[in-house]
Amino acid sequence: MGMMRYDYDLYVIGAGSGGVRAARMSAASGAATAVAESGPLGGTCVNAGCVPKKLMVYASEFASSFEDSRGFGWTVGETRFDWSTLIANKDREIERLNGVYRGLLEGSGVEVHHGRARITGRHTVEVDGTSHTAKHILIATGGRPFKVPIPGADLGITSDEIFHLDTLPRRILITGGGYIAVEFAGIFNGLGSQVTLNYRGPLFLRGFDDDVRSSLAEAMAGRGIRLLFDTLIDRIEDSGNGLRATTNHGDTIEIDVALCATGRVPNSSGLGLEDIGVAQTPRGAVVVDEFSQTTVPGIYAIGDVTDRMALTPVAIGEAMALVQTLIHGTPTAMDYTNVPSAVFSQPQIGTVGLTESEAVAEGRNVSIFRSKFRPMLNTLSGRDEQTMMKLVVDRATDRVLGVHMVGPDAGEIIQGMAVALKCGATKERFDATVGIHPTAAEEFVTMREPVK
């Protein structure tokens, strides 16, 4: 038998952050590449995630800036916020980005197929009735919001719809304890809505450092957000004048919008994975090895659909590693150590490395350096919100294992700290670094005494 000829070397399903990068890099190396996408280009990040969320965070931060300016001698005239202007401008920017992604794909020679793809065999993909053959198939279909099935759940919305509301809700209930819940709580609070956030556990942001979690909770409550921990919503009903949510404690909350931010699940159904034997976890995540190969050779998966680490730059890193592995013949695995991340809550969270409890669970003997202070802006603004900074240090090696921050610009500051951790910086190196004065960031290199 002669060599099997395929239509494509790589067929990518999903044109989000991971899929687009894999397709571009593959095509740029001369491999015949196609990508199938049923929605807008750019995936969650561009259309219903990082990008519109950050734009809305910026919009909502002006309220506190106006307020803070008074202590510095400013008199700000009457301020009005227009929701429809923000949404229209945000939509225009996202349309521009959809075009940028199209240009990137076409410019590198990727064929774009608009439609729903289904894998029909180890080397075949069908899109809207047309069959394509490929040497390698990549699943990069991402994730989607998950709604808790309670009576009246259909009256609530998810993060997908929150970006397209017709009007700014006067009262909003946000259910969930992850970063999406706290980010939208800050956004709507800043835009003037009355915000209630409920979470089933005793404190939100499970998996983050405990000092980060408690610091953010304190700050959010201080900004007038009503936090209901250890609270479930039993049902939602139409009250004739908005919605009424009833908690497991029997309390009712009158609201206009109920946002369900209770997590995301992998987008793996309808792809035909069961028929060809691609293994999935009970949550629907595609099971992969360290080189992103599924249980069926020749079929790969990256990004949120694998439920490894749901972050845009991680999906992109996985894509780059996969192209090295498949197209360049250099088996490359993604490195998940010291991946930094930020939560665009208000105040912001930035974090890299191990939390205190993770380090302790690993059996390490750690020193903790922690600082809480009023940022300089607040000395005249009259705001009493505090910034929290924390270092987790391994006593045996003096290595800095984790850096955590809650406060203005946390994301920007932690990116630099992430480089230090990648370089294996010790506490001694931190101490030997000269601070930039006056900044909040300098606190990370001037913490002398560990917490008792």
* Domain CATH number, residue 386: 3.30.390.30
Kindly report, residue by residue over 123-178, the tens digit of the pLDDT. Answer: 999 999 999 999 999 999 999 999 999 999 999 999 999 999 999 999 999 999 99
Please check whether residues 245 and 298 belong to one and the same domain. no
Q: Which residues are catalytic?
A: 437
Domain count for the chain: 3
Would the pTM of this model clear 0.85, i.e. be above it? yes
What per-residue confidence (pLDDT) applies to 3? 63
Q: Is 53 domain-assigned? A: yes
> With bands split at pLDDT 50, 70 and 90, how would you rate the model's confidence at 4?
confident
Residue type, 385: E
What's 339-384 look like in SS3?
CCEEECCCCCEEEEECCHHHHHHCCCCEEEEEEEECCHHHHHHCCC
In residues, how long is the chain?
452
Alpha-carbon distance of 439 to 428, in angstroms, equals 21
264, β-bridge pairs:
145
Residues 229 and 277 in one domain: no
Range of the domain at 104: 8-145+265-326
Rounded to whole angstroms, how far apart are CA atoms 342 and 234? Answer: 31
pLDDT digits (tens, 9 = 90+) for 86-134: 999 999 999 999 999 999 999 999 999 999 999 999 999 999 999 999 9
pLDDT band at 1 (very low <50, low <70, confident <90, very high): very low
Supply the pLDDT for residue 262. Answer: 97
- Please report the sign of the dihedral spanned by the C-alpha atoms of residue 277, residue 280, residue 282, residue 283: negative
pLDDT bracket for residue 2 (50, 70, 90): very low
For 45, 142, 285, 318, 434, the CA distances from 308, given in Å and listed in that order, are 16, 11, 9, 10, 37
Tell me the pLDDT of the chain averaged across its residues.
97
**Mean pLDDT across the stretch 358-379?**
98
For 287-306, how does the pLDDT look when each residue is reduced to its tens digit (9 = 90+)? 999 999 999 999 999 999 99
Write the DSSP string, 89-158: HHHHHHHHHHHHHHHHHHHTT-EEEES-EEEEETTEEEETTEEEEEEEEEE---EEE-----TTGGGSB-
Residue 16 burial by Cβ neighbours in a 10 Å radius (0-12, 13-18, 19+):
buried
The pLDDT of residue 452 is 80
| Residue 232, number of CB atoms within 10 A of its CB | 15
| Greater pLDDT, 3 or 210 | 210
**Domain shared by 428 and 347, yes or no:** yes
224: left (phi over 0), alpha (psi -120 to 50) or beta: left
The answer to whether 316 and 21 have CB atoms below 8 angstroms apart is yes
Mean pLDDT, range 359-366, rounded to an integer: 98
Mean pLDDT of 5-34: 98
Q: Do residues 256 and 283 share a domain?
A: no
User: Is residue 1 one of the residues assigned to a domain?
Assistant: no
pLDDT of residue 427 exceeding 90, the answer is: yes
User: Rounded distance, CA 71 to CA 99, Å?
Assistant: 44
Per cent of the chain over pLDDT 70 is 99
Listed residues 244, 262, 280: the one ending a domain: 262
CA dihedral 397, 402, 404, 410 (to 10 degrees): 100
Query: Which tokens is 265 given?
Result: 């699940």
164 and 96 within one domain: no
Q: What DSSP element (H or E) covers 388? A: strand 387-394
Give the mean pLDDT of 334-357: 98
278 and 388 in a single domain? The answer is no
163 and 98 within one domain: no
Dist CA 22 CA 28 (whole Å): 10
